[in-house]
Amino acid sequence: MRVLIGGGSGFVGKELTRLLRNKGHEVTVISRQPGPGKITWSDLETKGLPPCEGAVNLAGENLMNPLRWWNESYKKDLFSSRIDTTRALSEAIAAAASPPHCWVLVSGVACYKPSMTADYTESSEWTPFDLLSRLVKEWEAAALLPQSAAKTTRQIIVRPGAVLGRDGGAMKQMLLPFWLGLGGTLGSGSQPFPWIHVSDLAGIIVHALEAPADSPPSPQVYNGVAPALNTNYEFTKELGRLMRRPTIFPVPAFAMNALMGSERAVILTQGQRVIPERTLESGFQYQYPDLNSALKQIIS
């Protein structure tokens, strides 16, 4: 396949590109800067969709960017960087003379309301309840194709939890404090912690792209999380055990709220029990289904 990836030069995009190329597919990245194997977002708008059988959007301002203060400007960038790029790709697909067979948007589990007891599958109904859930609602709505285009292009939404990997995401910021023996639980530690290894997230996307044409009707949602249901405490203790470091310095919720802004800190101090029911039913095989195997690979 020829696959077009919006935001393909980021953490997940690099892993997805590596996996696709290893499987013999051809990748073109949509980026802000031109270069070999790339087109720009301006190219997409002016020249239309290049020939491709699959399209994926991963673009968006880093929600956990430690260098940006939580203010209205940052919130605006979070929305526009996701919604505008998604709409640009969706419109280009709809207008294409030869549209791709599959269109994948990677959004997030922030649509599900934090709960200590509720189990969320892809079939769970939800309505926006805060800023980030409203972002997911508008983001996913921007990906929807008109009925005429939806007849030829399968629409897939993948909602990942915290993406774990050695070269980016949350782990990149956590490893140093843990090595120094300063790691600890966030908030109470009892909150659910939906997570996925970056290789498995890339695998789910490729699994969706490679699905046969007679797959279930779209749009289809896959929860991009590991099948293990863990808490932040379990994650913290397992990481500390594998790194042979103490984890005795909890970070109170109020400190997280002060540092990151309460609307953003909620991702770390609260959580949801997210079950990848449809992901498993589709036949996807996880490389890292549990914390031990995922964290071992990351810190090895």
> Does residue 34 have a cis bond before it (omega within 30 degrees)?
no
DSSP state string for 189-219: S-SB--EEEHHHHHHHHHHHHTS-TTSSPSS
Q: What are the backbone angles phi and psi of residue 3, rounded to the nearest 5°?
A: -120, 130
As given in the structure block, the two tokens for residue 179 are 């090595």
Which DSSP category does 144 fall into? P
Residue 46 has pLDDT above 70, yes or no: yes
Q: Which residues are bridge partners to 229 per DSSP?
A: none
pLDDT at position 142, please? Answer: 98
Give the pLDDT band of residue 114 (cuts 50, 70, 90): very high
Q: What is the structure's pLDDT at 247? A: 97
Distance between CA atoms of 227 and 243, rounded to whole angstroms?
A: 23
* Ranges 75-89, 126-140, 217-231, 277-291: which has the least confidence: 217-231
pLDDT at 217 over 70: no
What mean pLDDT, rounded, does the chain reach? Answer: 95
Looking at the predicted structure, is the pLDDT value of residue 74 above 90?
Answer: yes
The fraction of the chain above a pLDDT of 70, given in percent, is 98
Q: Is the pTM of this model over 0.95?
A: yes
pLDDT at 215: 67
CA angle at 86 for the pair 142 and 149, rounded to the nearest 5°:
65
Q: Domain 2-299, what architecture?
A: 3-Layer(aba) Sandwich (3.40)
